[in-house]
A and B are shown apart, each in its own frame.
Chain A
Amino acid sequence: MARAVSTRRKIGFTVAAWVVALLIFFPILYTIITSFKSETEAIAGFSLVPSGTLESYAEVQAQSNYFKFFLNSVIIAVGSTILALVVAVPAAWSMAFSPTKRTKDILMWMLSTKMMPAVAVLVPIYLIFRDANLLDTRIGLTVMLMLINLPIVVWMLYTYFREIPGEILEAARMDGATLWGEIVYVLTPMAVPGIASTMLLNIILAWNEAFWTIRLTTTNAAPLTAFIASFSSPQGLFWAKLSAASTLAIAPILIMGWFSQRQLVRGLTFGAVK
């Protein structure tokens, strides 16, 4: 009896999980389906079966150079992530391993900068970028994205580093490890999984960042978010073309996410599960 009940419950949970997962994934799925429709099909109404035409993709590629946007996205996402890690690893490290009375306050202050809507600082930042000749440059955008994601990166790394028990570092010190030995043989191997998942999550965040990337670029440094935006033209609705552009833009990150699922889950749960 009990067994039958628990099996039924298990099935119930599985079905529910699938329904929720499909609901969340549906917008992306429908975008992909629409990208294989012709423009007339796309506005004709709801249909899950596309004709399978590739004309939207051809047109998108003809109108703009996908590869250039793609390259910008890679440079900006990866570059800003590396820069963020270079700054955040030592910062989180010192906060986790030699905290002071102010550590918690500093962390809260860093996070509080994320509570302000980005648009509030649009004008000053735009002016700074203009005066520094950084508008529409990859370097400018890389630095910008690094700065906006930095609080999250520091927070994530801090949580991971805090999980490393202090006694293990003390044991290393007792075992005769110098500071360098402690970092290379003990801390780094234990910190690498946390750093890796932080890196993956930050690449995704930077890849999909649309507010600053669209406003601070025009052509030279424009990444894939700007590429999508360029197809949502005010002159008319081109659903199929827009969908094709979106699919092209999210495909690389979707593939990367698929291959790094395990690390990502750890990253998204912020080290809550061991």
Chain B
Amino acid sequence: MGNINLKKVSKSFGATTIIPEIDLEIEDGEFVVFVGPSGCGKSTLLRLIAGLEDTSAGTISIDGRDVTGEAPAKRRLAMVFQSYALYPHMTVYKNIAFPLKMAGEDAAVIDKKVKDAARVLNLTNYLERRPGQLSGGQRQRVAIGRAIVRQPSAFLFDEPLSNLDAALRGTMRLEISELHHQLKTTMIYVTHDQVEAMTMADKIVVLNAGNIEQVGSPMELYKTPKNIFVAGFIGSPKMNLIDGAPAAKHGATTIGVRPEHLGISTTAGEWKATVGVAEHLGSDTFLHVQAEGVGPLTVRADGELGVRHGDTIYLTPSPAKVHRFGSDGRAM
């Protein structure tokens, strides 16, 4: 079981308030991603749940049990750190075995569990090495191995992939998702990479300056962002946000149109635009254009589209996909 509940949780360091007040419900077995810009309090929130920081106010409960004042060791959670935090003086085997040893399991049980975990994570050949003799991806797997052997009620990940190169990040992302399907254990995953958030999460929590801006499934956030912040943060490339006359035409202070929701024509359309840089990705082309009376826009076009720098094109937003925001920044 891994049902986690936060009620009116706040956190201040001295006089600075990092998290004003948060309520959050995490269901058993969910993959929840905390996403937000750097410094918004994602790690702090995760560490509050872990018990590595004390809350300033509010209560945290796990499976209905109030754990607010409990030590991390008692909460039955496992954490994977950004720096991996492996024990440098222990072999991979001993690193993975450590939580079991602390739980007082006997040697035969430990041996079986460590070897099982090593098999799942492709670490069997590295059990006798020290962390210093492993690659980044292997270290990451050891950190995950150390987390899974104890069968915790939830896993906490703090930007576990940010030290890896792009290719390895993609693979590890899949491995962690696969692990979640196998274990069906609650996972809370912190990242500032919205692609990780979109692809892995059952539920995304968008944080900004210690406040929850919106909670929802990836598609909910993509389709119906509650405000400009979420609209601009979720989706890649970023949503185009347009103020002024074009927005007023839709009866809003600001309108948002995603790059993939702009129709392109060479002859006619709502906005006339001049093509600037075109990024050809093969499958797609991202056009950075300057639209008359609208400003700079990003457009996602077909990979085969043959437009060049300086060409004139016409853009038309799909009416159903235009997001309208009021003067307070909220969706209308």
A→B interface (CB under 8 Å): 165, 167-168, 170-178, 181, 185-186, 189-190
B52 within 8 A of partner (CB): yes
Q: Encode contact with A along B83-95: 1 for CB under 8 Å, 0 otherwise.
A: 1011111000000
Q: Please pick, from A165, A168, A176, A190, the residue contacting B99 in the complex, using a CB distance under 8 A.
A: A176
Within 8 A of A (CB), among B129-146: 146
B interface residue count range (under 10 / 10 to 19 / 20 to 34 / 35 or more): 20 to 34
Q: Which residue in chain B gives the minimum CB-CB distance to A178?
A: B73
Query: Chain B's nearest CB lies how many Å from the CB of A259?
Result: 23
A173 touches B72 (CB 8 A): yes
Known: A175-B99, A176-B150, A177-B102. A167 touches B87 (CB 8 A): no
A176 touches B81 (CB 8 A): no
- What are 24 pairs between A and B in contact, CB < 8 Å? A167-B81, A167-B83, A168-B85, A168-B88, A170-B52, A170-B72, A171-B79, A171-B81, A171-B87, A171-B146, A173-B51, A173-B71, A173-B72, A174-B50, A174-B72, A174-B79, A175-B98, A175-B99, A175-B102, A175-B150, A177-B98, A178-B73, A185-B101, A189-B89
B239 within 8 A of partner (CB): no
Q: Please pick, from B50, B88, B89, B102, the residue contacting A176 in the complex, using a CB distance under 8 A.
A: B102
Q: Which residue in chain A gives the minimum CB-CB distance to B76?
A: A176
Q: Please pick, from B71, B72, B85, B146, the residue contacting A167 in the complex, using a CB distance under 8 A.
A: B85
A168 touches B87 (CB 8 A): yes
Residue in A165, A168, A178 with the greatest tally of chain B CB atoms within 10 Å: A168
Within 8 A of A (CB), among B46-74: 50-52, 71-73
Q: Which residue in chain B gives the minimum CB-CB distance to A170?
A: B52
Q: In the complex, A173 Cα to B156 Cα: how many Å?
A: 14
B→A interface (CB under 8 Å): 50-52, 71-73, 77-79, 81, 83, 85-89, 98-99, 101-103, 146, 150
Residues of A within 8 A of B98 (CB): 172, 175, 177, 185
Where chain A touches its partner, the secondary structure class is helix
Known: A173-B71, A173-B72, A176-B99. A165 touches B85 (CB 8 A): yes
Known: A175-B98, A185-B98. A190 touches B88 (CB 8 A): yes
Q: In the complex, A170 Cα to B51 Cα: how many Å?
A: 10
B52 touches A173 (CB 8 A): yes
B81 touches A170 (CB 8 A): yes
Q: Which residue in chain B gives the minimum CB-CB distance to A181?
A: B102
Q: In the complex, A174 Cα to B99 Cα: how many Å?
A: 8
Q: Which residue in chain B gives the minimum CB-CB distance to A168?
A: B85
